[in-house]
Amino acid sequence: MALRDKLNFDGDPLYLIDGSAFFYRGFHAYPDLKRSDGVPTNAMFFVLRTLLKVIKEEKPKYLVFILDGKGKNFRHELYDQYKAQRPPMPDDLRSQIEPLKEALNVIGVPLIVSEGEEADDCIASLAARYKSERPVVILGADKDLKQCLDENVFMWDPAGKKEKITSLADFREDTKLEPEQWADFQALVGDSADNIPGVPGVGKVTATKIMAEYPTLEDIRDNYDKLKPAIQKKMKDELENIFVYRELTRMRLGSCSDCDLKQCELRSVDGDRAAEFMTTYEFRSLVRDVKSLFSATSGSGVPAGNSKKSASGQASLFGEEDTTSAAKPKKSASGGGQFSLFGEATPAPAAPENRLELKKISSASELPDFTDKEVGLVREGNIFFIGVDGDELMCKVTAAELAAGLQSAKTIVVADVKSFLRADDAWGQIQLFRWFDLSLAAYLLNPEERNYAWDRLRAMLFAGEELPDAVDEVHPDAQGMAALALMHVLGPRIKSAGLDELTANLEIPLIPVLADMEKAGITIDLDAFADFLTEVNERINELTRVIHERAGEPFNIRSSQQMATVLFDSLGLKPGGKTPKGALSTANSVLEKLSGQHEIITDILEYRKMEKLRSTYLEPLPKLVNANGRIHTNFNQLATATGRLSSSGPNLQNIPIRGDQGKRMRACFTAGEGLRLAAADYSQVELRVLAHFSGDPALVSAFEHDEDIHSRTAALLFDRDPADVTSDERRNAKTINFGLIYGMGPQKLSRELGIKINEAKEFIAKYFEKLDVLKEFYDSVVEQGREKGYVTTLSGRRRLLPELHSTSPQILSQARRQAINTVIQGSAADIIKMAMIKVADNAEIKHLGGRLILQIHDELLVEGPEENIEEIGKLLQKDMQTVATLAVPLKVDLGLGRNWAQAH
């Protein structure tokens, strides 16, 4: 069973591989393994065998191999004896580094060489950066990496005699510590492998006892006089040194700052090339592995299962040209045996005998005339590869020079327009209609795939896809010409799918808006963050005291096992469920059901809320602030099937916004000096979209008369006047109003309302009885989706749903929920995108000094001069309310203030 199934991951995990550790381990595990000519291959073989096993079993989307860089790092400056006892790398091992890098490339595994810092620092930084948005799996056994463990971070060693998985709960049980204490613990006991001495005479047992009473080195130092005399004697000369030892073993979380999630995506692979590499190094068993893994799988060159299946059972990145029937197999005139991302298996083109002829251009004067021409453009660092008029050019000119030359081109084809706009302002001079974004086109054709990286897009062109007549041949080494060829494949599909207007009028114009918002960022009040953190830490300490008091004994509140013992053994509470491993569950959903049994439950739930605030927001976010005091997120346009934007690095979409803590968190986000914020939030936009599409008289009337929609719905459900509706009845109506948009079934509704499932079923039945037009609309969405093979949003966005024909009740039920959710949420996403473009282009707002800086769900934040912010706010509100014409009015709530909390 795959690890992701064992641990029941929700979402694609990020796999971080401690490459140096596996490299050394392989060298010592197979000391005699060499090629027939004597070339050492032992370390490479071990690494590749492990990687192929992981790729086969886990089918990862995000996986990165991290190696230590050359030379010394900051730890050597802190302590000149750091790792001084280690011998230099053996020549037989050093000679395998470059071949290993080549091997990683041919099997599509991203590589990071951690220069100036250790691989562990990079691993820890990436784990901390992404653990709030997806599971993180660290492949390695280095004890220092245990610092990274968290609720969503695991360590996994798949290469030992017995697979070992370490979770946060496992760590707590084994050590009686928290991960943040691990560096302190290591400072006390020392580490002979790294030549860290520790405190003489203090071993693991003694250190554990000390830290049970004094959890940190600071506590130990401050309470030195309270230590037992024997411990005082051992610690006396080391009280200052232990802080240096801690820095030697503690991970630095600011490393690999230029690495984003996209760079960690597993790339597509040429199976024949991978097999050829394995044959060259005489890895016979691995030849079989790569052939089965990369040749008998989906056309992406990644393991079958990473690509979404179409209704015909084919793995396709871009869906089908005709979604109402199974796609026909593509044919190719050449021989071979690779697979195509456009359809099912097709013959691969034979490798060209001739080398690619590149025309090198080193000055702007040598650039050709691009007027009215189609140009394929790929950027690699400061070098541009251009395909034009059948030639492949390699240009070493500035972005400004090239952008100036391309302003007259008919079409400029790139993999990612936003990356160009972010890289250099010169690209903003090019008119938007000239750009063709390959990744965007691929996403719009199949928004479920989630991987639209250039390497993968390009690979499909050489996996047997028959090229259009406009491009007779494309050399496998070509980049610019490959981009052009892909446009000639994807462009007609966009048009035939009716997605050309969506692309031209919404998605392409949105790109510069997102780029500008990313560059602008938002100011962070570091003092407010620090004050909030202090309060949260104080509340955590107080809750810890109260929880221990209510439990009648001290225990590790973060340990699910210890908590289960306290709740179900000591206090005798009735268990509410079990974990996948069979242990009694203490998950929040279980504890919420037990809240009436004991007052300790409320305290534990609040403790967890405070702990999440601390670890997810209050501690990490201030570390991401730049020199100007602003934090910059990345807006992801290609991440969700419904068309909603997401954000990462950091994720500002999941900032808490409800309750007192939400208000305090928002107050930490402020306007710049002399500026103010205007925050405009759509009111119940999804329900308004639902009223528009369904035409339900009750919903339409309520919105037309600006009534409280939830009270109006409750009045219908409970047969009373809106004025007589109780707060509980309104809450129940609100739950079902929003719940059915998100596909809530009777089971979830029963949990949300605290009622029995039969009551929930009756509630839903009555809801649709009273709002019968709504039921007809829901049924029509599903039926149209079944007929066409897809559903569409307000702007014509499509989502393929072949599962609507499934015979599995579970799959069919999920597809029905997705169909309705896509139409409603996707249309709401269309509206907010339209508003972003309109606001960003508003000349009056610009003239007044306003700029759009943030989008959070249905809310837009504009920053502008204090003296103009009121007028800017009115223009913002007007733009958002008039950007789309629905059967009911759009309503926008506006607020102004120094910080986000005041403006919200």
The pLDDT tens digits for 51-80 are 999 998 889 999 999 998 877 777 877 777
Express each pLDDT in 117-158 by its tens digit: 888 999 999 999 999 889 999 999 888 999 999 999 999 998
Q: CA-CA distances (angstroms) from residue 832 to 506, 797, 874, 877, 888?
A: 11, 14, 17, 12, 16
In this prediction, residues 75-103 reach a mean pLDDT of: 85
Distance, CA of 671 to CA of 896 (rounded, Å): 11
**Confidence check: pLDDT of 464 > 70:** no
Segment 649-665, tens digit of pLDDT? 888 888 887 778 889 99
Q: Of 106-115, 515-524, 770-779, 802-811, where does mean pLDDT reach its minimum?
A: 802-811
- In whole angstroms, what is the distance from residue 840 CA to residue 509 CA? 10
- Alpha helices for 200-270 (secondary structure H): 204-213, 217-222, 229-235, 241-249
Q: What is the pLDDT of residue 222?
A: 87
* Residue 374 pLDDT grade (very low, low, confident, very high; cuts 50, 70, 90): very high
- Based on its alpha-carbon atoms, the radius of gyration of the chain, rounded to whole angstroms, reads 30
DSSP assignment of 428-468 equals GGS-GGGEEEHHHHHHHH-TT-----HHHHHHHHTTTPPPP
Question: Do 3-168+252-263 and 632-696+779-904 come out as alike in CATH topology?
Answer: no
564-591 mean pLDDT = 85
Structure confidence at residue 238 as a pLDDT band (50, 70, 90): confident
Helices and strands, number each (H, E), in the chain: 38, 23
**Arithmetic mean of pLDDT, 27-38:** 80
The topology under which CATH files domain 632-696+779-904 is: Alpha-Beta Plaits (3.30.70)
Q: Can you tell me the distance from the alpha carbon of 464 to that of 849, in angstroms, rounded to the nearest whole number? A: 53
Confidence of residue 186 (pLDDT cuts 50, 70, 90): very high
Task: Determine the pLDDT at residue 424.
Answer: 93
User: What is the reported pLDDT for 325?
Assistant: 31
Beta strand 522-524 with 630-631 is antiparallel
What's the rounded mean pLDDT across residues 770-776?
87
Q: Which CATH superfamily is domain 3-168+252-263 in?
A: 5'-nuclease (3.40.50.1010)
pLDDT in tens, 270-328: 788 888 899 999 888 788 788 777 754 433 344 433 433 333 333 344 444 333 332 33
pLDDT of residue 344: 30
Q: What percent of the chain has pLDDT over 90?
A: 50
Angle formed at CA 127 by CA 124 and CA 132, multiple of 5 degrees: 145
Q: For the chain, give every domain's residue range.
A: 3-168+252-263, 523-631, 632-696+779-904, 702-770
Residue whose entry in the numeric block shows the structure tokens 């302590």: 79
What confidence tens digit (pLDDT) does each residue in 798-831 have? 998 888 888 778 788 888 889 999 999 999 999 9
pTM of the model: 0.65
Most confident of 158-162, 259-263, 372-376: 372-376
Residue 793 near residue 823 (C-beta atoms within 8 A): yes
pLDDT, residue 743, reads 66
- Range scoring the smallest mean pLDDT among 43-57, 177-191, 272-286: 272-286
Q: Which fold has domain 523-631?
A: Taq DNA Polymerase; Chain T, domain 4 (1.20.1060)
Q: Is the pLDDT of residue 756 over 70?
A: yes
Which of 113-122, 448-457, 604-613, 764-773 has the highest mean predicted lDDT (pLDDT)? 604-613
In the chain, % of residues over pLDDT 70 = 91
| Distance in angstroms (rounded) separating the CA atoms of residues 159 and 22 | 8
